[in-house]
Each structure stands twice: as structure tokens, then as C-alpha cells.
């Protein structure tokens, strides 16, 4: 009887569509935003070089930084060839 | 000192032009001197929404081509004497104007003609027309609807605005249907602000009165019976720095709704 009434008044037992919309939106926005502009990526590279150079000597020309995204996650992937380790840590020189 | 605000969205059909016309009318009613620029070159529509389509003599592109001679280009509103429209050209395309020229137009309207507000109605899309429209803006208003595509496009526009150094961005969620929100079949305004991470300027219910006003070429903002009009008036106040609480969009209960409540179905 209650089943019949539920159907009659159109009560919905499925996941509300707005919940689905929000989940889909959240995922797609992560992807849409993932396209870092070339300028921003360049700035990021420069700053990375600055920080890492304090600890080790790196090959600046071979350095690669990219944003990788799979279906539901994103990763910043950096390939940084190291030439030498520095003997003194930046803490001591400061 | 006046300021320029661009009304933009990415997606078409969300209500940018209606919003521009009504915010403009609302500000003008409060005594501000307001210029509305239709930046949608080739597809002009703001003139029609304001009911001024038969009064256009010169347009935006003519002004630039004549070395910024504004003579007969600014069309005065039928009712509000301090509201003006600078129409788009219908025969040119978006390339007829550069971002620098658009910026110059906005600056001159404020400095030479002492406008308090210059509102730029941006075309849909993110190409040349968009870049022109945002060029002179001090602030941006993004209009969106509570649906997937509109919110997604709005997010792109937020990204493009911030990459241009325009960080003063506020959001209007238009065409909200409280009944669908209640049934959890429509994104809520807080869902949307949470995803976009920008400040809310207002929420406008979907209202048939808006269509009726547009048919007549009149602003809806002064209509005492329309909920959308009330929402626009609140937005106009917030734009001027007033602290107006956000009204909750309520569902009008029908007999069936009440019956459902009684028997415990909703």
C-alpha cells in the first residue's frame, strides 16, 4: 500500500540528481583547472630550481616538470637530473 | 570616481543581458549615472531587452572609428534619465575592436562623461569578444545557472579573469528553481560557490515575470510582485557596499505538497 502511494506521489528512492551533478562537476573541474598555463609552469620551474639548488647541483636544462592527471587524481611529476650533492647544508651556511 | 564592471559567464543563455539591464536600471534609479555597453558585436541584444532598438543612431565601433566621438552614440533610457546604452554594431565582427580600444572607451566614459558605473555586457565564449569586454573592467560579475555546463564554463571564466589579474569577481546564480532544489534535483547556490570559490553577489529565482518584461522591453527590477525583481534590487544594494542579507528562496506549497506532508511522503 505504501509502495503504491510512493509511486503515486512520485517519491524518488534513487540518488538525488544534484548529488550526481556535484560529484561530476568536482571531478571535471579538477581536470579543467589542471591545464597550468605555460607562464605559470615556467615560474614554478624557476622556483623549484632555486629551492633544490640550495641542496644539490642540478642540470637545469634537462629538468622536466609536468602535471599528470588520471581519472580521479592529479600529480605533479618532476624529473630533475642531479649532478653533484652539495657538501654543506644550507642551514650551516646561513 | 566611477568604475567599470563586466558581466560575463562563458556559457550563453544564462541571463547576462537581462542582468546587465536590470542592475543598470536599479543603479540609475538610485541616482547613479550609468552607462551600459553592449560588447556583443554582431549579435546585439541589450538594446532589445531595454526596448531601445528603434533609437540607435551610432554604435560602439563607430565611436572607435571616429577617434572617440561619442556624439549620438549614447542612447538615453526611456524612463531613467541617467541611464544610457552604448549599443554594439550589428554589421561588424568581434575583431572590429581591440582590448585597448575597449579600455579607452570605459576610461573616457568615466573621466570625460563622469559616469558612476560602466557595465559591460560580455558576449558568450572566451575568445576575442570576451577579451575585449573584460579589458577595461575593475570588477567582474559572473552569471551562472544551477546546472553542470553553466558552472563548468563559469569556472573557466574565473580562471581566465584571474590570469588577467582581475581578482575582484562575484557570482550571481540565476534561474534557481526552489522546488527542484528542495527535491535535491538542482545544485544549490552554496554547492556552486563551494566549487567555484568566489563570493556570492546574489541568487535569482527563475521567474516568468522576467520573460514578460523582456517581451515588453522593460526592466523588471521595479516590479513589486516579482521575486526576481526583489533579488535584483538586493544585488544593486550589495554592489554599492550595503550589507543585505541573502533571502531564502522558498517554495510555495501546493495542496498536493501539503497532502504529501500529512501522509508523510515528503
In angstroms, the CA B3 to CA B14 distance is 24
Q: Tell me: the pLDDT tens digits for A56-78?
A: 999 888 888 887 766 667 788 88
Classify the complex by whether its ipTM is higher than 0.95, answering yes or no: no
* Contact state of A22 with B191 under an 8 Å Cβ cutoff: yes
Residue pLDDT, tens place only, B34-84: 999 999 999 999 999 999 999 999 999 999 999 999 999 999 999 999 999
Give B82 or A14, the one with higher predicted confidence. Answer: B82
C-beta atoms of B184 and A25 within 8 A: no
pLDDT in the model for residue B257: 74
Q: Do A32 and B155 touch (CB under 8 A)?
A: yes
**pLDDT for res A60:** 86
Test the B interface: residue of A29, A30, A34, A35 with most B CBs within 10 Å: A29
What is the 3-class SS of A31-90, one letter each residue?
A: HHHHCCCHHHHHHHHHHHHHHHHCCEEECCCCCEEEEEECCCCEEEEEECCEEEECCCCH
The set of cell numbers assigned to B177 is 528553481
| Nearest 10 degrees: Cα torsion B5, B6, B7, B12 | 180
Asked if A16's CB is within 8 angstroms of B185's CB, the reply is yes
Q: Is the pLDDT of residue A10 over 60?
A: no
Q: Which of A5, A18, A24 sits opposite B185 (nearest CB)?
A: A18
The dihedral built from the CA positions of residue B139, B142, B143 and B146, taken in this order, carries a sign that is: negative
B66 vs A40, residue with greater confidence: B66
Chain A, residues 21-50, CB within 8 A of chain B, namely 21-22, 24-26, 28-29, 32-33, 37
Put simply, the answer to whether A32 touches B184 (Cβ < 8 Å) is no
Q: Tens digit of pLDDT for each residue in B166-213?
A: 999 999 999 999 999 999 999 999 999 999 999 999 999 999 999 999
Q: What is the mean pLDDT of chain B?
A: 95
What are the strands, taking DSSP E only, across chain B?
3-8, 34-38, 75-76, 83-86, 117-121, 139-144, 169-176, 199-205
pLDDT at B169: 98
Interface A-B, measured as beta-carbon pairs within 8 A, has a size of 47
- Residue B204 in 3-state DSSP? strand
Q: A9 to chain B nearest CA, in Å?
A: 8
In the structure grid, which three cell numbers stand for residue A84, read together?
653533484
Measured between CB atoms, does B195 come within 8 Å of chain A? yes
Establish if A14 touches chain B: CB-CB under 8 angstroms. Answer: no
Domains of chain B by start residue, with CATH: 3-262 (3.40.50.300)
Contacts of B184 in chain A (CB under 8 A): 16-19
Among B224, B247, B201, residue whose Cα is nearest residue B19: B201
* Cβ neighbours of residue B266 closer than 8 Å, sequence gap 6 or more: A9, A11, B257, B260
Q: How far apart are CA B140 and CA A16, in angstroms?
A: 33
pLDDT in tens, B89-147: 999 999 999 999 999 999 999 999 999 999 999 999 999 999 999 999 999 999 999 99
Amino acid at each position: 500500500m505504501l509502495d503504491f502511494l510512493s509511486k503515486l506521489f512520485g517519491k524518488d528512492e534513487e540518488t538525488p540528481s544534484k548529488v550526481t551533478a556535484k560529484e561530476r562537476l568536482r571531478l571535471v573541474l579538477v581536470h579543467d583547472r589542471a591545464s597550468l598555463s605555460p607562464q605559470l609552469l615556467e615560474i614554478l620551474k624557476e622556483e623549484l630550481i632555486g629551492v633544490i639548488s640550495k641542496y644539490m647541483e642540478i642540470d637545469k636544462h634537462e629538468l622536466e616538470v609536468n602535471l599528470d592527471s588520471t581519472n580521479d587524481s592529479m600529480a605533479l611529476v618532476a624529473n630533475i637530473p642531479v649532478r653533484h650533492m652539495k657538501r654543506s647544508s644550507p642551514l650551516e651556511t646561513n | 570616481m566611477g568604475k567599470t564592471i563586466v558581466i560575463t559567464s562563458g556559457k550563453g543563455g544564462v541571463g547576462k543581458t537581462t542582468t546587465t539591464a536590470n542592475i543598470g536600471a536599479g543603479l540609475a534609479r538610485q541616482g547613479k549615472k550609468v552607462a551600459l555597453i553592449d560588447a556583443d558585436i554582431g549579435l546585439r541584444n541589450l538594446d532589445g531587452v531595454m526596448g531601445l532598438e528603434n533609437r540607435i543612431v551610432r554604435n560602439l565601433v563607430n565611436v572607435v572609428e571616429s577617434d572617440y566621438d561619442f556624439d549620438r552614440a549614447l542612447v538615453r533610457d526611456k524612463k531613467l534619465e541617467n541611464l544610457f546604452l552604448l549599443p554594439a554594431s550589428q554589421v561588424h565582427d568581434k575583431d572590429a575592436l581591440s582590448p585597448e580600444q575597449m579600455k579607452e572607451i570605459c576610461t573616457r566614459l568615466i573621466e570625460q562623461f563622469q559616469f558612476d558605473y560602466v557595465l559591460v555586457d560580455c558576449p558568450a565564449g572566451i575568445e576575442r569578444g570576451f577579451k575585449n569586454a573584460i579589458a577595461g573592467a575593475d570588477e567582474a560579475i559572473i552569471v551562472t545557472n544551477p546546472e553542470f555546463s553553466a558552472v563548468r564554463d563559469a569556472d573557466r571564466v574565473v580562471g581566465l579573469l584571474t590570469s588577467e589579474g582581475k581578482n575582484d569577481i562575484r557570482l550571481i546564480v540565476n534561474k534557481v528553481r526552489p522546488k527542484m532544489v528542495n527535491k535535491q534535483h538542482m545544485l544549490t547556490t552554496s554547492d556552486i560557490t563551494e566549487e567555484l570559490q568566489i563570493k556570492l553577489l546574489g541568487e535569482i529565482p527563475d521567474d516568468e515575470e522576467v520573460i514578460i518584461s523582456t517581451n515588453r522591453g522593460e526592466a523588471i527590477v521595479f516590479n513589486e510582485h516579482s521575486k526576481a525583481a526583489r533579488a535584483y534590487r538586493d544585488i544593486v544594494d550589495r554592489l554599492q557596499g550595503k550589507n543585505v542579507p541573502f533571502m531564502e528562496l522558498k517554495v510555495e506549497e501546493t495542496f498536493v505538497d501539503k497532502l504529501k506532508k500529512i501522509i508523510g511522503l515528503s
